[in-house]
Each structure stands twice: as structure tokens, then as C-alpha cells.
Structure 1
């Protein structure tokens, strides 16, 4: 009797697990709040942090070094991933992460997930479901466990849908196909692991199975939480927690302005390299403040931000 009861209990646990998998396509708003406790700004309806379009636009001038320094100082030491194949490598990818989690194909889980998705009104194959949820300014970030041959779930058709919904490219931990077609999209700046001409076989989940959408995922050495800001350039991807995005941008702008000022004064031979490369004297700090005021409308930083910098300075 004890053995039978144990079997029944295990069966019930398995049934609950399978049902959970079948519906575990998204997380609740409460869970999203749990995963993003330090974000105090606007959110999407599902709870995902909504970093402003203004910050996203200013983020395009941030370097990986600047983002890295801010995040490391805040205790976030695993926010950069490298060794990507880039599409349009001369461009910059910036946007809010919308995530998808794939696992190797498993027919039972695939079918239960597919059936539940269709019951909820989702159409076609699982690889299109996250794409249907993208909004303007999103970056589709997918963990496809580095799948290569018979792994690509993104080709030129799905790429066009991604671009139409988000106006952005992708960060994709797997292989893509139709790379020539993807390159024809002028703003489809993307970072992928590899290219392969094959494609995944959606029949019975033979190659891949979608497990989660809009959930925390693993991207190599980085955890990506929905709403994180993606900064892709120079072959690397920085994943910036939403609550640090504004600080990263503002810190970058201060560094940029100080570099511009220092380089100009060096060319003018007003100061020596030794004076600029070390802690600035009160005289140089005052000169910098005056330079900001005199050039406020010509500098590559919003005037209101320069005014904020000036207000917080003591020189």
C-alpha cells in the first residue's frame, strides 16, 4: 500500500510538472516585480521595466568600458558576453530585452506546450510566439543553448517579423539561417552565435522546445532579466540592469565631456599631458565648467543634462 501511495504521489507530481511546463510560457507581474526589485520607473503591463526611449537613444554612445565600470562598481560583475557573429557590425544595437528560453527538443513537453498555446489563441509554431509579443524598442534575446546544425529557428521571414514589431535586431544564443536576407534589413543589427543553412524541424519538437517567454534566461556568462537594456557594439554585448541604465548613460556623458575638454586643451597646449592624465587641479576644474557653459549647445550631450552637471559642480 505504501508503494502504491508513493506511485500515486509521484504520478501527481509529474502531472503537475507537465501542466506547469505547458503553461510556463510567461511569468506573472508579481514575479516580474520580484526579479526587478530596484527598478522604480515606468513598467509595461506585464511588469517588465520600461526604460525611457530618451535613455535608450543616449545609450548608443556609451562604450562597453563605461558600462562595465558602472555596473562593476554597483556589484554587477557578470554583465558582458563576447565572441558573437555580428550582422551590421558597424552599427549599434540598443533596446529593452524581451527574452525567450529554448531547450533541446523533447516531444512530450513540446506537444503539451504547443497544445496549451493553441488553446490560448497562439498560432503557428513556437518560434513565432515570442516574436508576436515584441514591442517597439525591444531587443529579442533568446537562449537557444548554442544550437547549430538543424538548430536555426530564425531566418529571413521571422527576422522581418521581428524587425516589423520591434524596429530592432536580436541577441541569439544559437545559429541563424538566411544570413544574406538578414543583412538586407538595414537596421537589423544583431549578435548571434553562428550561421548554418539548415533549419530546425518543428515537427514533434525534434530539435527545440520553447520553455519560457519574458523570463530570466542565461546568455553565456550573463543572466538576462526582461527589461534589461541591451548594448551591442564592437562584437560584444553588455546587459545593463534597468535600474542602472540612466546612471550608465550619465556617467558616460560626463566621461565623454571631460575627454573632449582634455583633448582640446592638449591640442591648444594649454595644459600638459601630465596635468590632464592625473586628478585635475582646481584651476582646470573651473576651466572645464566655463567650457561647458560656453559650448552647451554644441556638445554631444543634451543641454539639460549639461545644466544638471553644472549645478552639481563646486567650480
Structure 2
């Protein structure tokens, strides 16, 4: 069985607020905390019509395949960690695969992703490729990858670990970290920072929506509109109060 990681549960309102915040806004708030790059660069949603997701990381780590171990006969074996990982997913978790940014073979296909959907996963992510892209694009489970390929995982990858720290698209992901996805991509929020930044991020999201309406109305950025001056922020507060 994969290691069990005990985490302090996050308040449900933290996750609810994160669902209302874009990856761009979260990137800015994380930068303010000193984290320069938490976005999984190069990954795209296979179904861009889905709004996004929020969930806790369940990690899987690949190493290069070896011909005597990674065979078709190995798939039904009890030591197939990929099958075990999917069957170990819990409600609200996100499968995150470290494929070493290698798209030479698929990290998973429709069977595993569909099973993850029915296990209660909120997303399935790799920094490599998926197969059966046309099927995954039709599922209600968000999937993110660099590419789509028909090549089986066995040609390139061996599943070495579950629920260990990994690198995905060059970003460190620890089991239990919070992943947030939208139509632009996915960002990793360290679990301990999520409660600290969520209110500021939601306020920034609302402020930028307000500023966008003014820019869209033809106002120039210079003169204190963006970045907003204190006068502009006060106008935002009055606008927000009038809408309450």
C-alpha cells in the first residue's frame, strides 16, 4: 500500500474560495510569499470546456522502463503500482504524475482516468502525455498533459513510487499540496500556505475583475488605474459596497 500521509484537514471554505480564484491570481499571491514558480508550465487541459478543479495531491513517480520488468504480462500483477495508486485515490484527491517531462509514451489512458473519476478524484495530471485523448476530452474529470500519444507507458516508464515528493513540470509537489486548475493550466499551492493566502487572493480576484471593467470601458492604465493607486482601491471598495 502507498504511504499514508496525515494532514491537518483544511477548512471547507478554504477550498471553496480557491475554486473562485484563477491560477494567475494565485501565482501573484504565491510570488508575494516568495515562491517564484508554482505553475506547471507546458501543461494544457484536454477538455478546455471544463471550468477547473481544486484538490489535494496524490503523487506518482516514474523512472525509465526496463525491458525485463515492464511487459504486458506485468500489468495484472499485484505489484503494479500504477493500478494500486489509482485504486488508492480518495474523494477530492488529484493524481499528479512525475513523467520527467517525457512525452515519448503515455502516462495513462482512458481506463485509469475513468477509474480515477469513479474513485472521486478531482483531476488527473501528468507532465508527460496521455493516450485516448478524444475519450479523456469527453470525461467530466479535468485532465492536463503536454501531449497525446498512442504509445503505451511500458515502452518508456516504470512506476517507482507513490505518495512521495515529486517534480512535475519542474515544480516540487508534496503529497497533500493543493492543486488548482483552470482553463489556463495548473498551479501548486503548498498546503500550509493555502489558508494564509486565500482571502487576499480572492480580494485580488475581485479587484482585478473591477479593474478589467474599467479598462474594457476605455480607461488608460497610467494614472493610477493599474497597478491601482490608493484612490482606485477606495473606488473599488465603494463599488463593492454598493453591490453587496
Give the TM-score normalised by structure 2.
Answer: 0.80
C-alpha displacement of 1:148: 3.4
Match of 1:9 in 2: none
Residues 228-277 of structure 1: per-residue CA shift (max 9 Å, x gap)? 11122244321111122233321222123334555678999xxx983544
| Residue matched to 2:98 | 143
Determine helix, strand or coil for the equivalent of 2:63.
strand
Provide the rounded CA distance (Å) in 1 between the counterparts of 2:215 and 2:174: 43
Closer, same or farther: CA 158–76 of 1 in aligned 2, 3 Å: same
Q: Which position in structure 2 is the counterpart of 1:33?
A: none
User: Corresponding residue for 1:47?
Assistant: 6
Asked if 1:240 corresponds to 2:189, the answer is yes
1:228 aligns with 2:177: yes
Counterparts of 1:216 and 1:126, CA distance in 2: 16
> Could you report, residue by residue, the CA deviation over 1:147-196 in whole angstroms, capped at 9, with x for unpaired residues?
434x32411111110111134221112221111221221x2211112211
Larger radius of gyration between Structure 1 and Structure 2: 1
- Deviation per CA, 1:16-61, whole angstroms, max 9, x where unpaired? xxxxxxxxx744x6xxxxxxxxxxxxxxxx2245434432232123
Cα RMSD for the two superposed structures:
3.3
Cross-structure match for 2:159 = 210
In the other structure, the counterpart of 1:68 is 27
Match of 1:98 among 48, 54, 58: 58
Q: How many residues align?
A: 236
Q: Which structure 1 residue ranges, 5 or more long, are not aligned?
A: 1-24, 30-45, 297-315
Which of 280, 296, 306 is the aligned partner of 2:230?
280
- The residue number in structure 2 matching 1:160 is 114
Q: Is the 8 A contact 2:101 2:168 kept in 1?
A: no
From the superposition, tell whether residues 265 and 153 of structure 1 become closer, same or farther in structure 2 (CA, over 3 Å).
closer
Q: TM-score normalised to the size of structure 1?
A: 0.64
Mapped contact 2:113–2:136 kept (Cα < 8 A): yes
Q: Which residue of 2 aligns with 1:302?
A: none
In 2, Cα distance between the equivalents of 1:136 and 1:215? 19
Q: Mark the CA change 1:138 to 1:57 in structure 2 (over 3 Å): closer, same or farther.
A: same
Matches within 5 A, 1:290-309: 291-296=239-244
Relative to structure 1, is the Cα distance of residues 52 and 131 closer, same or farther in structure 2, using a 3 angstrom cutoff? Answer: farther
- Aligned residue for 1:58? 17
Aligned to 1:179: 133
Asked if 1 retains the 8 angstrom alpha-carbon contact of 2:96 and 2:125, the reply is: yes
Deviation at 1:288, TM superposition (A): 4.9
Superposed, which structure 2 residues align to 1:194-209 within 5 Å?
Answer: 194-201=147-154, 207-209=156-158
